[in-house]
């Protein structure tokens, strides 16, 4: 019974993340893209916090790696806010995508 809830929880996380990634790259409106980027940044930070809190206290290395991925989400947010060109905003989007995708893969492995 409990494993069914965990699988459902993981599938919801995957669906939200994939929908966010697709929306981040396929939406044409800059205003909507900005809202999606901010939402995905918060989502990535929340995933990092969820993973770090759910690990045992003696897994310090794994917790540091997870919080490092959360820090990459924050760095992408700062890069997006300071961006002066479209290329810099795209770099921030790619950094956010990579950090969040690695966090999702860490849920499995």
pLDDT in tens, 48-107: 999 999 999 999 999 999 999 999 999 999 999 999 999 999 999 999 999 999 999 998
Is pTM beyond 0.85 here?
yes
Closest CA to 45 of 20, 70, 72, 62: 70
Dihedral (Cα; 63, 69, 73, 79), 10-degree rounding: 130
How far apart, in whole angstroms, are the C-alpha atoms of residue 57 and residue 6? 21
Number of domains in the chain: 1
Q: Residue 56: what are its φ and ψ, rounded to 5°?
A: -65, 155
Range of the domain at 45: 2-108
Contact 37, 96 (CB under 8 A): yes
Q: SS3 of 55, please?
A: coil
Tally of residues, the chain: 109
* pLDDT value at residue 101: 95
How far apart, in whole angstroms, are the C-alpha atoms of residue 78 and residue 73? 9
């Amino acid at each position: 019974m409990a494993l069914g809830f965990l699988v459902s929880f993981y599938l919801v996380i995957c669906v939200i993340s994939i929908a966010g990634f697709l929306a981040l790259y396929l939406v044409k409106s800059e205003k909507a893209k900005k809202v999606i980027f901010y939402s995905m940044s918060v989502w990535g930070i929340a995933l990092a916090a969820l993973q770090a809190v759910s690990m045992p206290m003696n897994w310090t290395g794994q917790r540091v790696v997870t919080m490092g991925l959360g820090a990459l989400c924050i760095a992408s947010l700062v890069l997006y806010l300071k961006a002066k060109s479209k290329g810099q905003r795209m770099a921030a989007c790619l950094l956010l995508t990579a950090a969040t995708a690695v966090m999702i893969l860490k849920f499995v492995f």
